[in-house]
Structure 1
């Protein structure tokens, strides 16, 4: 797998799920494990994994229904569908709806890793554009507060729903205080607990098995800039204590080291969890909360800032149009009206992902409401032979790769791991030229 991917596994089988997550942990792949459709949806609202692996049979519903409902919100995140033997037609429906590949049970963890390595993992997409989305009165007030905070070094806690733009606010604060300094972001929920201490503080060569050289942690790399602790509410209790000591003493040592280093960076933390409720339950340290929340600012959800929606939509469209080689893309009047009517439960992240998906898959230069909000699920198809099903899946996969590469065949061939000659031959045989 490429460096730094994360994975969401939606699988209710405790034996299979346990073995897969254990292997992912050993491979150092950040991951989340959902055991039901509801838990999977909640995790997708909170995170943007690099890859999604979803079983079709879940205790509270169908994995197919879950993916069909959420596919427009996933943008270009690759999806791997796990099916039981003989469910090829179901897999093909999902491939046509936007999934990238399928895998039949039973399978080994090694087989899954090989499949994951074969999938095109897109680069991390942009957060909300830096200057877009600040028109609403609440956002203008927040911008003024960030400008004032930029003149001092106080710790800041940003709260708000997942996808509301907390990291964008942190970057805005950082830019106002000195954009030439490092901005180091650490996702507290994506790093395995056993690696967290090394990632924060760094380690010396030989500190533990596999530590072949000195490693600078987030606290050291942040220098005199900003250390951004995203999803800080997910920190394990033992790590909360170590973070508290770091904030209190402003000093630390690398794991396995003796040299005392100074924390020079401003600490900005973010969470979508009610930390006061966590404190009442004994799950989050009260003393750490007050160290982090010297100043606490709230990011309102997108549904409460309708003035910002059109500007954000247009800014994301410009970005993805340029990224996918489709500079002529525009939003129709109907699309803009639909964007304004939508409640945006996934906030800015959902808006970004819907725009990204429409920019990849939209057939016309003017994207309509149906491109952003598909009006119906993928149509039922007539039963296919296995060969026909595989051809159909391969045809759709080639077309998506071409769309992702702006129609450039050489780049699409490289993305799919084949030669340009092979790509031409497959396109002609499968009728995927258009």
Structure 2
């Protein structure tokens, strides 16, 4: 059966193919999937499924292992080329568990043993779909309220030439924010020149930043154009600007104030047309008090301050970032990994992330590179957590209450987005009363926090549209 004609409002609904010969169970699954906002297909035999898959590519397949004309295993093998990249969830009786395990090892994504609670099936479907498409953040920089505020600010000042000073802990995403400004500004087609001031030796930073003339010093055999010149009309991004030596700070002050600079050994003032964006994880005011940073330079670069919160303070970004980096590395490495287990997600939500986003990215890269199955577990994402780190003592294990609260908060927030903030509908989906839901939201800190609609989370403004139940062919 082909899905109903898709409207613009249904573009974000997932097409879920159900292959089930039992008419009662098949119709019940189709009706419930439609209520959940999916676009269900229903094929009652393997032959119907193969014919349908020739013209339709679903987002996910739910298949019974025992079909009237072939087994689910035979169907998977016959449709392997058409289903490449499509998650497959098998339904099996107790006697077929061995076959189901064999199918998962052969490339299927999950299986459920009959009879099963419908909530369990829906949770697994949601997990598979989320792993395939990813929970796109509400904005380009993140789903959390702090990052949405940062994005709004950066969009407002993208075409203002005033200097930006981006501060935040190491690994929080300062360069990502700087590149975002470049991408959304009128300078997007001009160069983005990034300089890590801490990585360039002090004796070379002047020459690297401003360039030098031929013969300016021993070894200067040719004219060298520095970053300020090569940035042209784009953006000059100075990361770790606090590490600039005092003489270079003076030259940078001239560049900011007069929009000109001199190459080392040069006598001609050169114009600087690039926009300056600086970043640091240091406390510049403390550096000024210690005499290590010029106060007048701080005033000149701190025109528009932008603070990037560490990952531990914006936990709504954790799962979207995990999935985004998983897709990136799975594609790069050609890995069959599909997603994270619920235990891994719970541990990630409870983790302190001292290395912020950089730590998260490194953990995902390692886990994907070493993965030997479709799902990354908590032990793969956090290996050796009970071991001692560099003599600092045992790594603290997250308390059970913290993990439970983190998972419960994320699940309630996702349900509220799915119900577009309608408390009655969210309570019904969660199977609790509205008073209970409100009390849980208050306890978990959700009551005073506005939630983006599901459409924003999925990247489509119409993602929360539910369809009427599909009819059986």
TM-score range, shorter chain: 0.5 to 0.7
* Equivalent residues of 2:337, 2:368 under 8 A apart: no
How many angstroms does 1:235 deviate by? 1.2
Distance in 1 between residues matched to 2:147 and 2:385, nearest whole Å: 35
Residue of 227, 234, 245 corresponding to 1:236? 245
Aligned to 1:156: 164
Query: Counterpart of 1:399?
Result: none
- SS for the counterpart of 2:279 is strand
Once the 2 structures are TM-superposed, how far is the Cα of residue 138 of structure 1 from its aligned partner? Answer: 1.5
Q: Does 2:229 match 1:254?
A: no
State how far apart, in whole Å, the 2-side matches of 1:288 and 1:349 are.
29
Q: Relative to 1, partners in 2 of residues 1:328 and 1:260: Cα closer, same or farther, differing over 3 Å?
A: same
Alignment RMSD (CA, Å): 2.2
TM-score, scaled relative to structure 1: 0.55
Hey, what does 1:340 align to over in structure 2? 349
Matched, 1:263 2:278: no
Distance 2:249 2:385 in 1: 46
User: What is the rounded CA distance, in whole Å, between the counterparts of 2:206 and 2:374 in structure 1?
Assistant: 49
Equivalence for 1:214: 223
- Normalising by structure 2, we get a TM-score of 0.51
Distance 1:353 1:312, change over 3 A: same
1:312 match: secondary structure: helix
Say if 2:321 is the partner of 1:281: no
Q: Which runs of 5+ in 2 are unaligned?
A: 1-136, 389-473
1:118-172 deviation per Cα after TM superposition (whole angstroms, max 9, x unaligned): xxxxxxxxxxx99655211111111111011012100010111111111111111
**2:191·2:233 contact (CA, 8 Å) conserved in 1?**
yes
Partner residue in 2 for 1:294: 303
* Matched residue SS, 1:248: helix
Q: Deviations over 1:355-412 (max 9, x none)?
A: 1111122232311111110145789xxxxxxxxxxxxxxxxxxxxxxxxxxxxxxxxx
The 5 Å alignment of 1:50-129 reads: none
**Is the CA contact 2:322–2:364 (under 8 Å) kept in the aligned structure 1?**
yes
* Mapped partners of 2:141, 2:342: distance in 1: 20
The residue number in structure 2 matching 1:146 is 154
| Structure 1 residue 168 corresponds to structure 2 residue 163 | no
Query: Of the candidates 192, 196, 199, which is equivalent to residue 187 of structure 1?
Result: 196
The SS at the match of 2:353 is: coil
Distance between the aligned counterparts of 2:224 and 2:371, measured in 1? 44
C-alpha separation in 2, matches of 1:140 and 1:377: 35
SS at match of 1:205: coil
Superposed counterparts of 1:319-398, under 5 Å: 319-375=328-384
CA contact (8 A) 1:132 1:312 kept: no
- Once residues 377 and 324 of structure 1 are traced to their aligned partners in structure 2, the CA distance between those partners, rounded to angstroms, is 29
For residues 312-336 of structure 1, give each alpha carbon's deviation from its aligned partner in whole angstroms, at most 9, with x where no partner exists.
Answer: 1111111111111215442222111
Q: Is the 8 A contact 2:228 2:236 kept in 1?
A: yes
Check whether the contact 2:262–2:269 (CA below 8 A) recurs between aligned residues: yes
Task: Show structure 1 runs of 5+ residues with no match.
Answer: 1-128, 380-434
Does the aligned pair in 2 maintain the 1:132–1:315 contact within 8 Å? no
Quote the Cα distance in structure 2 between the aligned partners of 1:255 and 1:156.
26
Q: Which has the larger radius of gyration?
A: 2
CA offset digits 1:171-216 (Å, max 9, x no partner): 1111111311111100010000000011011112222222232221
Structure 1 residue matching 2:147: 3-state secondary structure: helix
CA contact (8 A) 2:140 2:151 kept: no
Does 1:134 find its partner at 2:142? yes
Contact between 1:130 and 1:172, CA under 8 Å: does it hold in 2? no
Please identify, of 350-359 and 201-210, the stretch whose mean Cα deviation from structure 2 is larger: 201-210
